[in-house]
Chain A
Amino acid sequence: MTVCIEVALKAEATPLIEAFKLKPLSGNSLFPIYENDEIKLIISGVGKIKAGAACSYLAGIHRDEDIYGWINVGIGGHRTLSVGTPALINKITDDARKTQHFPSIVFEPPCQTYGCITVENPENIYPTGNIYDMEAAGFYAIASKISPIEMVHVFKVISDNALNPAANINKNSVYALIDGHVELISTVIHEMHSMIEEIAPDDIPFLDECIKRWHFTTFETLQLKKLLQRWQLICPDQILFSKALLEKKTSKEVIAYLSSHIENTPLKL
Chain B
Amino acid sequence: MKYLYVEEPLLNHPKTHMIQQKTGANVISINRYGEVFNRHGSHFRLQKKSSALILAEKKGKLVYDIPPAYSIGAKHNYYFSHLLNCPFDCRYCFLQGMYRSSNYVLFLNYEDFGVEIDQKSGSEKATFFSGYDGDSLAFESYSGFLDFFLPFFKQRPHIELELRTKSCNIQKLLNQDPIPNVVIAFTLSPEKIAKSFELKAPALKRRLKAIHDLQEKGWQIGLRFDPLIYVENYQDHYGPFFEEVLSLVKNPHSITLGAFRLPVSTFKEMERVSPKEPLLAICKQKEDMMAFAKEEEMLSFCKSFLPKEKVFICA
Contacts and interface: CB of A to CB of B under 8 A. Distances in A.
Contacts of A105: 2-3, 50
Given A90-B28, A100-B31, A268 B273 contact: no
Interface string A82-113: 00000000110000000010101111010001
Given A90-B3, A145-B41, 8 more contacts: A104-B46, A263-B283, A265-B282, A266-B232, A266-B282, A267-B232, A267-B278, A269-B192
B101 to A, nearest CB: 8
Interface of B: 2-3, 5, 26, 28, 30-31, 35-36, 39, 41-43, 45-47, 49-50, 52, 192-193, 196, 229-234, 237, 273, 275-279, 281-284, 292-294
Most buried by A among B41, B229, B292: B41
A107 B50 CA distance: 7
B45 A198 contact: yes
B28 A144 contact: no
Interface of A: 90-91, 100, 102, 104-107, 109, 113, 115, 144-145, 147-151, 195, 198-199, 201-202, 229-230, 233-234, 259, 262-269
A199 B271 CA distance: 11
B46 A234 contact: no
A230 B41 contact: no
Contacts of A102: 5, 28, 30, 35-36
A104 B42 contact: yes
B47 A150 contact: yes
Given A149-B42, A269-B193, A234 B278 contact: yes
Contacts of B45: 198-199
A100 B35 contact: yes
A269 B279 CA distance: 11
B281 A233 contact: yes
A106 B36 contact: no
A265 B43 CA distance: 29
A104 B100 CA distance: 13
- Secondary structure of the B contact surface, majority rule: mixed
A264 B281 CA distance: 11
Contacts of B231: 266-269
A230 B234 CA distance: 21
B230 A266 contact: yes
Contacts of B237: 269
Nearest to A99: B35
A213 B276 CA distance: 27
Contacts of B292: 263
Given A102-B36, A105-B2, A201-B275, A262 B282 contact: yes
B229 to A, nearest CB: 7
Contact of A267 (B2, B43, B230, B275): B230
Contact of A151 (B46, B50, B229, B276): B46
Given A264-B293, A266-B234, A269-B196, A100 B46 contact: no
Contacts of A234: 278, 281-282
A233 B274 CA distance: 12
Contacts of B196: 269
A111 to B, nearest CB: 13
User: 8 tightest CB-CB pairs across the interface, nearest first?
Assistant: A148-B43, A150-B46, A230-B281, A263-B293, A106-B50, A201-B275, A106-B49, A266-B232
A116 to B, nearest CB: 12
Contacts of A106: 46-47, 49-50
A145 B294 CA distance: 40
A107 B47 CA distance: 9
Contact of B47 (A90, A104, A266): A104
Contacts of A267: 229-232, 278-279, 282
Most buried by A among B5, B232, B275, B281: B281
B108 to A, nearest CB: 20
Contacts of B278: 233-234, 267
A125 B233 CA distance: 70
Given A102-B36, A233-B278, A233-B281, A198 B3 contact: no
Contacts of B52: 104
A263 B50 contact: no
A131 B60 CA distance: 36
A268 B282 CA distance: 12
Contacts of B229: 267
A150 B47 CA distance: 7
